[in-house]
Amino acid sequence: MCANYEVTTPRHLRLHLQTLEPTFSYPGEAYPGSKAVFVTAGENEQADFSPWPGVFGLQPSWAKDDKLARATYNARSETVAEKPSFRQAWKARRFCLIPVQAVFEPNYESGHAVRWRIARQDGAPFFLAGIWEEAQRQEQPLWSFSMLTINADEHPLMRRFHKPGDEKRSVVIVPTAGWQDWPHADEREARSLLRPFDPEEFTATAAPRPARKSAKDQVAKDDPAA
């Protein structure tokens, strides 16, 4: 499962997907519950795609609060049509593209979890298959999205991640030829696009999170005399 990823910049989104550049801001990395961007079919004649601000972690209309996002950021493709949190979005064919520069996964080959960064060999952004939802919060619309995942037990790259003994899972990278198809797909077409990506086009390297600075270190940084 992917709980952390590097978000494509507005400029790269416009250049590679030829969509309108987002007018809203979002952080460079996304975690469950954080704001990011997702892309749907275009709503006007100026672009084939439309970017939207959304919460990473699907929020169905019946959710009592936004904490559900911590459990709904990934949707298993095998059960997405049945799970209460996801089935309405899937049934309504609310398919979206999630613009990504890299995804992060835990690697245990050293004996403990180390964050690794998975990105394209050429450094270009890529787009993940997702579903989206709209709900109302305090009379305001709230958009949210989740990444679809597939089994990766046999994938040469993605099987290297997650805890030993756990099922290996992978995000679904929509190929360039499928960018136009995914947002408009019916269920049969959508299922046909839920397949493993070519590992030869990607690279994976260790990318541990920077160590958090202690309060003492922060004081020393802020006060040269400390």
Q: Are 2 and 105 in contact (CB under 8 A)?
A: yes
Residue the block writes with tokens 């080959």: 109
Q: Residues 157-173: pLDDT tens digits?
A: 999 999 999 999 999 99
Least confident of 130-134, 176-180, 214-218: 214-218
What are the backbone angles phi and psi of residue 209, rounded to the nearest 5°? -65, 140
Confidence of residue 213 (pLDDT cuts 50, 70, 90): low
User: Which stretch of DSSP H or E encloses residue 188?
Assistant: helix 187-193
Residue the block writes with tokens 């298959």: 129
Please determine, looking at this structure, whether the domain spanning 4-222 carries the CATH number 3.90.1680.10. yes
Task: Supply the mean pLDDT for the chain.
Answer: 90
Of the candidates 94, 101, 90, 96, the one whose C-alpha atom is nearest the C-alpha of residue 26 is 101
For residue 11, is pLDDT > 70?
yes
Distance CA 82, CA 3 (A): 22
Distance CA 214, CA 163 (A): 29
pTM over 0.95: no
Distance CA 153, CA 7 (A): 26
Least confident of 33-37, 98-102, 140-144: 140-144
Q: Residues 145-157: pLDDT tens digits?
A: 999 999 999 999 9
pLDDT at res. 221: 42
Residue the block writes with tokens 């439309």: 50
What are the backbone angles phi and psi of residue 178, rounded to the nearest 5°? -100, 0
Looking at mean pLDDT, say which of 12-16, 63-67, 210-214 comes out highest: 12-16
